[in-house]
Amino acid sequence: MSTLTVNTLRKSFGQRRLLSIETLSLVAGKSYALTGENGSGKSTLLRILAGIEAPDSGRGHYGAASFDWQPYPDSLRREVIYVHQQPYLFHTSVADNIAYGLRARGVGPGQRERLIAAAIAWARLERLLTTPPQKLSGGERQRVALARAWVLSPKVLLLDEPTANLDAESRQQTIDLLQGLCAPQCTTVVACHDRDLIAMPGMQRLHLVGGRIEQPSTAAE
């Protein structure tokens, strides 16, 4: 089982130190709810873990490999998937959006078609296939983005406020999908304020305060 660990992670914006994390270990197969006030650095931490943003300093360890963020290792980029709070869908079809990561990984057409069909069925996107992605509602976009992540079977899945700004029905659909999103060995980190997400079975809580992670505890605590 591979564990993603970060040590002495520092990130500042101007004079403001946003993140100052001595050690954070994300155990394979575990789910974490990353909580904290608005502006506490939740999104920045997820973006750093995903290799979209670089910290000022810090080291990471994943499996047997050790790395810093300059450059972010390609092997990790293939296994860590980040989903934006407001997912961006490419200006193509829903199916092509789901296929994007598979194409990037060189998955052949036959297998790709099977995986896309499975992802469409998993996220119940059948009715949306002919709708241009830019015409989809926030909840529908979130489902396409989750299907796009699910189809890649990530080892680490980073979700940034997946239920924010959704109506009640879309929010519930998203929570239902999240419960079946990860394979057993997948580590999930969900930045959120949503009590229902924090209270999901098996969810451990990581609380960001003053740039530091408070001692992980179970959601119930």
Partner 1 sequence: MSLLDATQAALRLLLSGDPDLWGIVGVSLSVTLRAMLIAMPVGISLGYLLATLRFPGRRPLIVIVQGLLASPTVVVGLLLYLLLSRQGVFGQLQLLFSQTAMVIGQVVIALPVLIAFSLSAIQGADPRARETAVALGASPPRVAWTMLIEVRFALMAAVCNAFGRVVSEIGCSLMVGGNIAGVTRNIPTAIALETSKGDFAQGIALGIVLMVVALGINTAFAFFQGESQR
Q: Footprint of partner 1 on this chain (CB under 8 A)? A: 47, 50-52, 77-78, 81-84, 86-88, 90-92, 100-101, 103-105, 132, 148, 152
Among residues 13 and 88, whose Cβ is nearest to partner 1?
88
Q: State in angstroms the smallest separation of the CB of 22 from partner 1.
A: 26
Among residues 102 and 213, whose Cβ is nearest to partner 1?
102
Among residues 157 and 219, whose Cβ is nearest to partner 1?
157
Q: State in angstroms the smallest separation of the CB of 195 from partner 1.
A: 27
Among residues 50 and 219, whose Cβ is nearest to partner 1?
50
In whole angstroms, what is the distance from residue 50 CA to residue 53 CA?
A: 8
Q: State in angstroms the smallest separation of the CB of 25 from partner 1.
A: 22
Q: State in angstroms the smallest separation of the CB of 196 from partner 1.
A: 25
What per-residue string of b and e applies to 140-150 under the rule 16 or more CB within 10 Å gives b? bbbbbbbbbbb
24: Cβ–Cβ under 8 A, 6 or more apart, which residues? 5, 6, 9, 206, 213
How big is the CA angle at 221 (ends 190 and 50), to the nearest 5 degrees? 20
Q: State in angstroms the smallest separation of the CB of 48 from partner 1.
A: 12
Among residues 47 and 171, whose Cβ is nearest to partner 1?
47
> Locate tokens 């973006």: which residue?
47
Among residues 31 and 43, whose Cβ is nearest to partner 1?
43
Structure tokens, 134: 């830019």
- The DSSP line for 121-189 is HHTT-GGGTTS-GGGS-HHHHHHHHHHHHHTT--SEEEEESTTTT--HHHHHHHHHHHHTSS-TT-EEE
In whole angstroms, what is the distance from residue 219 CA to residue 216 CA?
A: 9
Q: State in angstroms the smallest separation of the CB of 122 from partner 1.
A: 17
